[in-house]
Structure formats: structure tokens, C-alpha cells
Amino acid sequence: MLVNVLLQITGLEQMPSALDTPKEISMPLWDLTLKGGWIMIPIAVLSVIAVYIFVERYFAIRKAAKTDENFMNRIKDYIHDGKIDSALALCHSTDSPIARMIEKGIQRIGRPLNDIHTAIENVGRLEVFKLERGLPALATAAGGAPMLGFLGTVTGMVKAFYDMSMAGNNIDIQILSSGIYEAMVTTVAGLLVGIIAYFAYNILVSSVEKVVNGLEAHTTEFMDLLNEPVK
């Protein structure tokens, strides 16, 4: 009887209490980032470039996509009334790609229609080129950031194995932690920047395509206007 009581008391003493529950260890994001090593620097640079290009191009493309719904109607009225100077003044006062394209077409009125259409297309190519400025750099960030992350993975694992070989028989997890941190942190950072840049790039490309479709529609409308028979 006494032995059973002693065993029960001993068992209770060995049971972990609620106060002995291990606490969750957290690490500040900045400290975790620093463990990625020097490869985090080019990844951070790519992230800044990607964010800057996306924000700048997003508002530029959004501005180019805005067109006055009455713009083409006013151009039609001016051309029907023979007010070429008024039509040119309207295009000059309107800051949009379609206005600059139509302005070039109006300046070519009197020449063959093929020449007019070619002149408008040339201006359109220049406008699209302006809208796509910076997109190749954004695509480079989308593809380069994950590659830098994988490079950090390789260098981190090389560092971990080197530390392991130098430790000999005294291998400790603390010895390997530095290289493993570098490998994992750079991988996560590179993939994160690459994924964000990839989605940002596709959003901008889609927006540019919408603007291009609008430019083509207005160009067709203007050429149809010139093809109308004289009343």
C-alpha cells in the first residue's frame, strides 16, 4: 500500500506541468532576413525595382487608357464641316495616345489612304513602345529573383557542409544553422519576389493589350471616316 502511494506521488512529480510547456520561439523579420547573407541584397534591389516599375507603369497605362467618349464624335464633326484646323487643335490639346495618332492622320489628309494609315500605325507603335517601357526589366526581376534565391540555396548548403567537415566529430546543429538559414531564407525571398513580379508583369501586359485594342478600334473608326463618300 505504501509502495503504491509512493509510486503515484513519484509519477505525479514526473508529469510535466502546464508551466513547463515550451514557449514558442519567434524571430523578428529583419533578423531572419539578415540570415540570408549577401544574396539578399540583389534580391532586395530587384524587389524595389519591380515595385517601382509596376506602380509607375500602372498609373501611366491607366492614364493612357482614359479617353473622352466625345473625342471621335467631335473629330467627325470637324472633318465633315471642313474644320481641319479645329480638329488639329483638339488633338493637340488632348494628351492621349489616340489623340496623337489621329493628329498625325489629319495632317496627312489629302494623301493616299495607305499613306495615312501607315503614318497612324507608326505613331501607334511609338505610343505602345512608351507604354511597354520598363516591362522587360520587370520580366527580368520575375525570372532573376528565383534564380538568385536558388543560388543562395546552393551557397548555403555548401557553407553548411563545409562547417560540418571542419567540425569533425563535434557536429552540432548550431554549426549547421548558419548555412541552412542562408539556404532557406534566400529561397523563400527569391520565390516571393519572383512570384509578385510575375503577376505584376502579366497585369501590366494585359492592360497594355487593352489600350492597344482601343487604339486599333479608334484607328479603324478614323479610316472609315476618311473612306466615307463625299456628300
Same domain, 127 and 154: no
What pLDDT was estimated at residue 6? 36
Give the residue from 94, 112, 132 where a domain finishes.
132
* Residue 92 forms part of a structural domain: yes
Give the span between the Cα atoms of 165 and 157, in whole angstroms.
Answer: 12
111 φ/ψ angles, rounded to the nearest 5 degrees: -95, 170
* Residue 109 forms part of a structural domain: yes
Same domain, 149 and 41: yes
Instruction: Say what the pTM is.
Output: 0.77
Give mean pLDDT in consecutive 10-residue pieces for the chain, a chain of 231 residues. Answer: 42 45 53 68 92 94 84 87 88 88 89 89 92 93 92 80 68 65 82 94 94 90 76 53
Give the span between the Cα atoms of 135 and 70, in whole angstroms.
Answer: 31
* Residue 227 forms part of a structural domain: no
Residues 135, 205: contact at Cβ < 8 Å?
A: yes
Domain that holds residue 48: 37-57+135-217
Q: Of the candidates 133, 71, 63, which has an alpha carbon nearest to the alpha carbon of residue 102?
A: 71
Same domain, 42 and 149: yes
Same domain, 88 and 198: no
* Residue 158 forms part of a structural domain: yes
Residues 155, 37: contact at Cβ < 8 Å?
A: yes
Q: Which amino acid is at 192?
A: L
Same domain, 139 and 211: yes
* Residue 15 forms part of a structural domain: no
What pLDDT was estimated at residue 72? 87
What is the per-residue burial (b if ≥16 Cβ within 10 Å, else e) of 21-49? eeeeeeeeeeeeeebbbebbeebeebbeb
